[in-house]
Amino acid sequence: MTANPIPPAEARSLAEGHHGDPFSVLGMHSEGGRLVVRALRPEADAVELLDRKTGRKLADLAPVEGAGGVFAGYVPRRRNRFAYLLRLTRGGEVWTEQDAYAFGPVLGETDEYLLGEGTHGQLWRALGAHVTRHEGVAGVHFAVWAPNAQRVSVVGDFNGWDGRRNVMRRRGATGVHEIFMPGLSDGTVYKYELLDSAGQLLPLKADPVGFGAELPPKTASVVRDLARYDWGDGDWLTARGDLHKTDKPISVYEVHLESWRTVPEDGNRPLNYREHATTLVGYASDMGFTHIELTPISEYPFGGSWGYQPVGMFAPTARFGVPDDFRALVDACHGAGLGLIVDWVPGHFPTDRHGLGRFDGSALYEHADPKEGYHPDWNTLVYNYGRAEVANYLTTNAKFWLEEYHVDGLRVDAVASMLYRDYSRQEGEWVPNIHGGRENLEAISFLQRMNEAVYAAHPGVMTIAEESTAFAGVSAMTCDGGLGFGFKWNMGWMNDTLRYMAEDPVSRKYHHDKMTFGLHYAFSENFVLPLSHDEVVHGKGSLLGKMPGDDWQRFANLRAYYGFMWGHPGKKLMFMGCEFAQAAEWNHDQSLDWHLLQHGPHKGVQNLVRDLNRLYRHTPSLYELDNRAEGFRWIDGGNADMSVFSWVRYGKDGSAPVLVVANFTPVTRPDYRIGVPAPGRWAERLNTDAETYGGSGQVNADGATAEPMAAHGCDHSVVITVPPLATAFFQLAPQ
């Protein structure tokens, strides 16, 4: 009696797509001293077995009755395993291909161990889709974490999107499934098909660790080979650590790539990564910024989210090109002496069917309880930071952008929403922590570990928190109980000062404290002063639109405010368009209004921002002691009636101090006496009322010489003209 090369029940299970361990059946196996080969090829009418080395036919694989698409047969006169090919026939078409089930696993024992405990430091090197050679054959290795799935398949055009054909190998208790697919290469489009624990078919899923994606609105992942780019920024990477310290000048230009500038001659399409590498990089460099910060570029399905609802955490959005194109943008920044920061979103993810939500049929990445796992503000899902594999996924994603794309910093979005379990929730809508409190202890621990991992692997980078509460120690070291960020956005300063600027100058004396209050806590964190995209959207208007008065006063107010900001302790951040006084609220669907630069007042503001950056970068007293109280001294912070503020900025030993005087009324103050901390000549370095900026030209061209006359608690004082709605900078000249 002839042995059956495959049990009928197993054959039917394979044909129906319910077999959970196809590698135990398909491919070549030694059974009873004989070699048997089985294949699942529902697209073929006939299958032949060939010797891969000689190309000689060895056997016909017979179709299995009652299990359409399953073929099986014994190999005559062979006892030892060998490399083989399959020759398939359909109608009059004949082709030869490799069999994925002929190959052993790719992941090793170390990978399996680290994946199992959720501590793999380079997760993206194990999971995702990797172009590689395995057992001497070129192809792509796929691996995905889905511990509760009954089966996982990789699908694409290469198998007719048939989830039965390439069911993956489960790697023990790790929850990881993998398969090597011979013959595939860079550019292959794919998704994962999963059956949940009950055998129910789930929506096709994009790869959580996919390195590329289709151009939205398409949602599949795309195989991208990350090993080919030839970087040219070695010198920059070596030197950048010194540029990111608290005693260095940092002035950031925040950009939404899709709307920064478009190409009218080509249907108003946005610039691509390589075009930005020339145009945007050249512009930011000319404007004197030290860094460009990009709104999130991790792949996102909905353009209106500006990237803040990402699905492809490991994939630069395909809207502007392929991964190597994004690398070219980073490389160009470094070549121009600019750092590149990307906004990073570990706080939540969207509910799109192809995304992470209920990835394997269970609440895998998110919490099962919507009181913990659903974010009401954004209709999104919240990561389960207490699960080791999820925390590892996010931590290694942070490292991925720094290592594979050489980015210089991560601005972490919506940190406050992560820190508090009751964030934007009413009583009864949230779950207290184990101590009954509102702090999200798991998220706090995750942020601490993430910062430790990032700085340990790449000490020259910086992490920046967008954190809007008074949570203590955001930029303190984790060993001291802090979160470990390098810097924190000063949202309080931004809110207070913009409210002040919106007041009519006549009323500002009643709101004087809004401009001074920030100095009570200015040195409690390593602060960045942000004028971000959030201040020019959702009906808030533009920064220029917030300013009161006629056209001249509106521009003068804005120039004075920028001067106040650049003279204030803290690193600087400005959203695109604000540097030339964009008049309309930002619209992410269209280009900035670059034509406004044809008009003098807008050009004047642009000139001012360029000069403020240059003054800032070449004046150590404006940045060296940004986060230390000894770097700042009020001269007169209490002149509410005149709405005049004056203070001195100090640098380290040998840095000449800078006097900053800001007048927020449209009244000129001639012969205004101000105390100064040292005798000598105080040269006017910049005055926002200069004609080149669109001002009235009431400057102190000759500076002022200190007299031995006491004022404002100083032994010496100067007499200057304080221009209307303006900020002026004076620096002690060398003796």
Please identify every residue annotated as catalytic: 413, 466
Find all residues with CB under 8 Å of 327, minimum gap 6, and list them: 229, 231, 405, 406
The C-alpha atoms of residue 499 and residue 506 are separated, in whole angstroms, by 14
Check: CB of residue 568 under 8 Å from CB of residue 557. no
Residue in 238, 278, 242, 237 with CA at minimum distance from that of residue 260? 278
Pairing of strands 487-489, 658-663: unpaired
- Kindly give the residue spans of alpha helices, DSSP state H, lying in 287-412: 323-335, 370-373, 388-404
CB neighbours of residue 200 within 10 Å: 10
319 alpha-carbon distance from chain centroid: 15
Residue in 364, 343, 250, 363 with CA at minimum distance from that of residue 626? 250
First to last CA, the chain: 109
Check: CB of residue 677 under 8 Å from CB of residue 686. no
Check: CB of residue 306 under 8 Å from CB of residue 293. no
Is the peptide bond between 301 and the residue preceding it cis, with omega within 30 degrees of 0? no
* Alpha-carbon separation of residue 322 from 157, 230, 340, 644 (angstroms): 20, 15, 18, 52
Pairing of strands 409-412, 527-531: unpaired
The residue type of 223 is: V
Which helix (H) or strand (E) segment holds residue 75: the answer is strand 70-75
